[in-house]
Amino acid sequence: MADGAISDNAAVQAQLDRLKNLSPGRDVLGLERITALLKALGNPQDKLPPVFHVAGTNGKGSTCAFLRAAIEASGHTAHVFTSPHLVRFNERIRVAGQLIDDDKLAETLSRVLDHADDINPSFFEVTTAAALLAFTENSADAVILEVGLGGRLDATNVVKNPAICGIASLGIDHEAFLLSEEDGVPFAPMDRIAFEKAGIAKQDVPLVTQKYALSMHETIAAQARKVGAHVLPRGEAWDAVTYDNALHYRDARGKMSLPLPRMAGAHQADNAVLAIAMLRHQDKLHIPESAFAAMVEWADWPARLQRLADGPLTHKLGSKNPIWLDGGHNADAGVALGAHFYKLDAPVHLILGMLSNKDPSAIIAPLIPHLKSIHHVPVPGHEFHGAEAFAPTADKAGMEVCSHTNVAAALASIDAAPGDHVLIAGSLYLAGEVLKANRQEPV
């Protein structure tokens, strides 16, 4: 199963066991199964409040967090569907601002699975259907949907008339699921990414995008034209810059100056302004300017350059040095981590666990100027790289890789000098284990 889950609640676990037995056990793209499943459930996707649909390789989850913060700061309520979960399956489905409770989750999954036997939906398709069903049965002013994989054939793409769509940062990830050509014309790798993400575009619906390479922008624009969507690219329809420790945004409606996001990492400013642009180019919800100031302070997205609090796991370090947690696992995530520690000008002890289908050099290489030690750990419950996969890039830093049975052992082995930082990175699955061990489960 591509995204496994367990629960402490017996009723929820019973449904997750049913799902495990039903699911094909891998990511399967296509809209046929989710469409059939939703039809059997009464097509809840057609009964939603205004939908904010977000695709992207990196940053789409954070963009959803900023959207939610602004909407709630405006006095509205929002349902939110994101993936994957870190600790509890419930994190995927937020009903009117609150994680779905166990009783409702078990009951909703049961109803979805009762219609699933002849359809054979994937784990993500069942989860998507359960979220949409729960959303239609509880009142809220908006729905925020994060694309799971790609966009064009993602299960969330069954929503026919969203209020607005947005595409966050684009990069190489999940290449096995990308279309290699269209109408006989081959795609360059990054254009393939752009094509898949642009698949969320809908007729007469604004599509807000970040800045991309020209060929990627043209790919997105071409797909939007095919369906009659109106593209609103950064640098043309809107733009933003950071200077003087503030975030400066402009579009046809005017200009705003806001505090920088509280979430760590310079890249979070890009995610924040995408959310702002989406909210300012839709007409379903009124969002006052004051809500954007609150948004940058309120938004929170665990395991994305999150500084861990004091807890049972962080105490293993034996010092008060900062410990950061990040679930990033691709090249763009590595660049963001490198930029963060460059700004801090801090030596870094890296604890890294990566799935076997990811590239360790993507995380290690951008951190080389700051690295003081490299520690390999497994990713529990998943196929992961051994320490030998880290060695080629570690050699470039002139370092050996220390291997440990878990994060706690790695922390206990680090001799952190004053001013040193620790980074635990490489996998959201690993990040979930860390948050659970440190008693910092998302709420």
Q: pLDDT tens, 218-253?
A: 999 999 999 999 999 999 999 999 999 999 999 999
pLDDT at 174: 46
pLDDT score, position 1: 36
Token reading at 320: 């008060």
Q: How confident is the model at residue 29 (pLDDT cuts 50, 70, 90)?
A: confident
pLDDT of residue 180: 47
| AA identity, residue 286 | H
pLDDT band at 188, cuts 50/70/90?
confident
User: Which two tokens mark 66?
Assistant: 């900023």
pLDDT at residue 11 is higher than 80? yes
Q: Is the pLDDT of residue 2 over 60?
A: no
pLDDT (tens digit, 9 = 90+) per residue, 339-367?
999 999 999 999 999 999 999 999 999 99
- Mean pLDDT throughout 41-66? 97
Longest CA–CA separation in the chain, Å: 60
How far is residue 74 from each of residues 53, 77, 277, 353, 415, measured CA to CA in Å?
A: 19, 9, 16, 39, 47
Q: Which residues contact 127 (CB under 8 A, 6 or more apart)?
A: 3, 83, 92, 93
Amino acid at 128: T
Q: What is the SS3 assignment for the chain?
A: CCCCCCCCCHHHHHHHHHHHHHCCCCCCCCCHHHHHHHHHCCCHHHCCCCEEEEECCECHHHHHHHHHHHHHHCCCCEEEECCCCCCCHHHHEEECCEECCHHHHHHHHHHHHCCCCCCCCCHHHHHHHHHHHHHHCCCCCEEEEECCCCCCCCHHHHCCCCCEEEECECCCCCHHHCCCEECCEECCHHHHHHHHHHCCCCCCCEEEECCCCHHHHHHHHHHHHHHCCEEEEECCCEEEEEECCEEEEEECCEEEEEECCCCCCCHHHHHHHHHHHHHHCCCCCCCCHHHHHHHHHHCCCCCCCEECCCCCCHHHHCCCCCEEEECCCCHHHHHHHHHHHHHHCCCEEEEECCECCCCCHHHHHHHHHHEEEEEECCCCCCCECCHHHCHHHHHHCCCCEEECCCHHHHHHHCCCCCCCEEEEECCHHHHHHHHHHCCCCCC
Residue percentage of the chain with pLDDT more than 70: 94
Q: Band the pLDDT of 335: cuts 50, 70, 90.
A: very high
pLDDT, averaged across the chain:
93
Are the CB atoms for 171 and 332 separated by under 8 Å?
Answer: yes
pLDDT over threshold 70, residue 3: no
230-233 vs 206-209, strand pairing mode:
parallel
Q: Which residues contact 3 (CB under 8 A, 6 or more apart)?
A: 83, 84, 123, 124, 127
- Which of 169-173, 315-319, 410-414 is least confident? 169-173
pLDDT category, 176, cuts 50, 70, 90?
A: very low
**What's CA 86's distance to the chain center, in Å?**
11
Those residues whose C-beta lies under 8 Å from the C-beta of residue 162, and which sit 6 or more positions away, are 50, 51, 52, 53, 145, 202, 205
Which tokens go with 355? 């799935």
Cα dihedral 173, 177, 181, 183 sign? negative
* Residue-wise pLDDT tens digits, 253-294: 999 999 999 999 999 999 999 999 999 999 999 999 999 999
Q: How far is CA 143 from CA 110, 259, 441, in A?
A: 22, 26, 23
Closest CA to 2 of 99, 106, 126, 93: 126
Whether the pLDDT of residue 16 is over 50: the answer is yes
Q: Indicate the pLDDT class of residue 25, thresholds 50, 70 and 90.
A: low
